[in-house]
């Protein structure tokens, strides 16, 4: 109990100065995805999302990220694709308007290189994901970049006839680039 | 070898390409109206692969043709018919060369690279551009309609030669002339 109190006190004293939590610079941040359709690369992106990232380079282990994606504003790379991907067999944006990523740990791998682990929830299904992240200062802002792969069928993305991975690959690469204002930092 | 025959190479290429084009025309017309489904994606890819095959064979054919003069027309063939036949053949070659190009560029502008048989990437020349892809797809479609009319006329002419003029034009393209 004492240790907990001490921990809370430490957090109250140190965190506001060290960690920062900041909104993303929307027009310079992106979350994209890429897969293959009949062998042809197709790429899309999520146009609207919120991200809350806490990060202190001196104490990376305390960092965290929580990202909310608004699925209705997805762009599947082509007009037909964008209409289709919002439908029930795919993202079912009516039934599941949001997707989330909530980090569970952040590990430092080397200078500027980290590994974030977390829970990804899409279409109401939650799976563990791990992604390498590079972090660097860009014009006084923090830039977080990384990519990880998921299997779309783990999230029931593409049901019924679309479960056929011969037409649309199961593997989907998710790429993120988050630019954060350091305003939260005192 | 008399020079009033087509070579087997010419005959083979003519009929293979003709068959593939008829099949791909039908496939192109059929696939467009389908609801989005894995089947539709497959058929679009097969259509592109078949079209690329036609294009490759057409290049081989034109290269071959550059070094092999066609057999002369039958002696009694009126000069307007000779001219019409030559013009029609030139136009057929032009169309089967340009139609796949328009299809490929339209697809590229639509945002989809063409990957032959799912393994051989064909350059993705154009950036994604909706107006341009619509224009190119329209060109692809209209040229196909022109091709349809021309092929009907071309096949009709072949029938006329065979059944009315009773000459060797059709027989020599099937490989029957002078052979048993
Ligand atoms: C022998 C060669 C080809 C023939 C005879 C052919 C024929 C056709 C026909 C008849 C259509 C339907 C047009 C319509 O009514 O909308 C079509 C559509 C289409 N073709 Fe081809 N095509 C050929 C080659 C290609 C190639 C090489 C590609 C791409 C690499 C291609 C891509 C397309 C696409 C994307 C459409 C659909 C356009 C739309 O949805 O509006 N075609 N083709
Ligand atoms: C898509 C279908 C077709 C295409 C693109 C096509 C194209 C051509 C071309 C370009 C030539 C000229 C060859 C040269 O001078 O090098 C030719 C010759 C010929 N085609 Fe076709 N053809 C098609 C279908 C047909 C059909 C259905 C028939 C018969 C019913 C036919 C009968 C002939 C004959 C008999 C010749 C030889 C003409 C001669 O000996 O002077 N073709 N074709």
Among B110, B113, B118, whose Cβ lies nearest the Cβ of A78?
Answer: B110
Instruction: Map out the domains of chain B as residue ranges.
Output: 8-174
Prediction ipTM score:
0.81
Kindly determine whether residue B113 and residue A80, on different chains, have CB atoms separated by under 8 Å: no
**Protein fold of A5-181:** Lipocalin (2.40.128)
Pocket of ligand 2 (CB under 6 A): B 14, 18, 21-22, 65, 70, 89, 92-93, 96, 151, 154-155, 158, 169-170, 172-173
Interface contact B119, partner A, CB < 8 A: yes
Distance B154 CA to ligand 2 centre (A): 7
A122 or A24: which leads in pLDDT: A122
* B32 contacts in chain A (CB < 8 Å): none
- Phi, psi dihedral angles at A134 (to 5 degrees): -105, 140
Measure A167 CA to nearest chain B CA, in Å: 6
A183 has a pLDDT exceeding 60: no
Please tell me what DSSP assigns to residue A146: E
CATH assignment of B8-174, given 1.10.260, 2.60.120, 1.20.950, 2.60.40?
1.20.950
Q: Name the closest ligand to CA B133.
A: 1
Map tokens 């679009």 to a residue.
B44
**Average pLDDT along chain B:** 94
A80 and B37 within 8 Å at the Cβ level: the answer is no
Ligand 2 atom closest to residue B159's alpha carbon, by position in its atom list? 30
Nearest CA to ligand 2 atom 28: B155
- Of the given ranges (A92-96, A126-130, A149-153, B32-36), which has the lowest mean pLDDT? B32-36
Which residues, judged by CB distance below 6 Å to any ligand atom, belong to the binding site of ligand 1?
B 21, 24-25, 28-29, 32, 47-48, 51-52, 54, 99-100, 103-104, 106-107, 114, 137, 140-141, 144
Å from CA of B124 to ligand 1 middle: 17
**Which residues make Cβ contacts (< 8 Å) with residue A37, sequence separation at least 6?**
A167, A168, A169, B41
Separation CA B146–CA A38 (nearest Å): 30
B127 touches chain A (CB under 8 A): no
CB burial readout B24-51, b (16+ within 10 A) else e: bbebbeebeeeeeebebbbbbbbbbbbb
CA torsion A26-A73-A37-A80 (nearest 10°) is -130
Residue range B59-78: mean pLDDT, rounded = 93
Inform me whether the pLDDT recorded for A15 exceeds 60. Answer: no
Report chain A residues whose CB lies below 8 A from the CB of B107. Answer: none
How far apart CA A71 and CA A86 sit, in angstroms, is 8
pLDDT score recorded for residue B178: 57
In the structure encoding, which two tokens stand for residue B24, read together? 């791909």
pTM given for the model: 0.88
Distance B18 CA to ligand 2 centre (A): 8
| A10 pLDDT above the threshold of 60 | no
Sign of CA dihedral A152, A82, B45, B26: positive
What pLDDT score was predicted for residue A16? 41
Q: Using one digit for the tens of pLDDT, what is the confidence trace for B103-157?
A: 999 999 999 999 999 999 999 999 999 999 999 999 999 999 999 999 999 999 9
């Amino acid at each position: 109990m004492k240790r907990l109190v001490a921990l809370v006190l430490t957090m109250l004293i140190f965190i506001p100065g060290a960690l920062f939590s900041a909104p993303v610079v929307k027009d310079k941040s992106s979350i994209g995805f890429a897969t293959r359709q009949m062998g042809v690369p197709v790429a899309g992106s999520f146009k609207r999302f919120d991200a809350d990232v806490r990060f202190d380079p001196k104490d990376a282990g305390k960092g965290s990220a929580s990202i909310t994606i608004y699925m209705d504003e997805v762009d599947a790379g082509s007009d037909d694709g964008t209409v289709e991907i919002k439908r029930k067999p795919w993202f079912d944006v009516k039934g599941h308007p949001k997707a989330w990523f909530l980090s569970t740990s952040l590990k430092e791998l080397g200078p500027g290189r980290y590994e974030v682990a977390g829970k990804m929830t899409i279409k109401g299904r939650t799976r563990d994901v791990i992604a390498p992240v590079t972090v660097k200062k860009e014009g006084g802002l923090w830039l977080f970049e990384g990519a990880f792969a998921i299997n779309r069928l783990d999230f029931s993305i593409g049901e019924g006839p679309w479960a056929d991975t011969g037409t649309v690959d199961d593997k989907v690469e998710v790429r993120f680039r988050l630019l954060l204002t350091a305003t939260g930092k005192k | 070898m008399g020079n009033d025959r087509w070579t087997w190479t010419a005959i083979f290429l003519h009929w293979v390409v003709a068959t593939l084009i008829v099949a791909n025309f039908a496939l192109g017309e059929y696939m467009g109206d389908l609801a989005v489904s894995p089947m539709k994606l497959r058929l679009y890819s097969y259509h592109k692969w078949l079209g690329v095959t036609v294009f490759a064979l057409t290049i081989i054919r034109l290269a071959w043709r550059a070094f092999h003069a066609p057999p002369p027309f039958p002696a009694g063939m009126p000069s307007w018919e000779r001219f019409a036949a030559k013009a029609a053949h030139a136009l057929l070659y032009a169309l089967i060369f340009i139609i796949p190009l328009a299809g490929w560029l339209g697809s590229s502008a639509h945002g989809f690279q063409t990957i032959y048989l799912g393994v051989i990437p064909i350059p993705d020349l154009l950036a994604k551009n909706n107006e341009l892809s619509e224009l190119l797809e329209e060109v692809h479609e209209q040229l196909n309609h022109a091709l349809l009319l021309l092929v009907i006329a071309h096949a009709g002419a072949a029938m006329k030669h065979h059944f009315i003029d009773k000459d060797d034009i059709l027989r020599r393209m099937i490989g029957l002339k002078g052979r048993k």
